Amino acid sequence: MMGTGKTTVGRKLAEQICYPWVDIDQQLEKDFGFTIAEYFQRYGEEAFRQQESHMLQKLVHQSPSVITTGGGIVLREENRSLMVKHGRVVHLTAHLEELIRRLQGDQSRPLLAGNLEKRIQQLMIERAALYQSTAHVTIDTTNQSPCSIVSEVKRLLFKPATGRSC
């Protein structure tokens, strides 16, 4: 879900385990030459979801890395299958009130236009089962620092003898 800390946590995790980090949204914006919000305006959500799927397909077949995604990546079955087949999926979540606090005033997210609380609630309801069925682990980021979340991800995904360090 947007606002849970995916980008921040993914970047820090990648640094700590010495893997490359790729944020799909950032990579798409670089490739587009403009923001995702602008892409939504010009071409619509369905076209964006297609581009997002193509990028995921490309990335999962490269060397091991930490890939952070937008919250809507789970909307397509093909994406969920790719993520589960080719990696370990970490679902970050947060309480509704925390998401509202974090996302208040963020104009860069086209899916949050209108009543912020209602939009977040709606997205959470629509996507909850998809997140749960795709994730290998789920971590609530409410009231946690990025460093503590990264530690939790490492604890849940890596056995002590096989954990990577730089």
C-alpha span between 135 and 88 (Å, rounded): 8
Question: What confidence category does residue 152 fall into, taking pLDDT thresholds of 50, 70 and 90?
Answer: very high
pTM more than 0.85: yes
Task: Please state the CATH superfamily assignment of the domain spanning residues 6-144 in this structure.
Answer: P-loop containing nucleotide triphosphate hydrolases (3.40.50.300)
Question: Does residue 156 surpass a pLDDT of 90?
Answer: yes
CA separation for the pair 59, 40 (Å, rounded): 22
Nearest to residue 91, comparing CAs of 119, 64, 124? 124
pLDDT exceeds cutoff 70 at 166:
no
- The per-residue pLDDT for 163 is 52
Mean pLDDT of the chain: 91
Query: For residue 3, with 0-12 CB atoms within 10 Å meaning exposed, 13-18 middle and 19 or more buried, which class applies?
Result: buried
- pLDDT beyond 60 at 165: no
Rounded mean pLDDT, 9-24:
97
pLDDT tens digits for range 95-148: 999 998 888 876 667 667 677 888 889 889 999 999 999 999 999 999 999 999
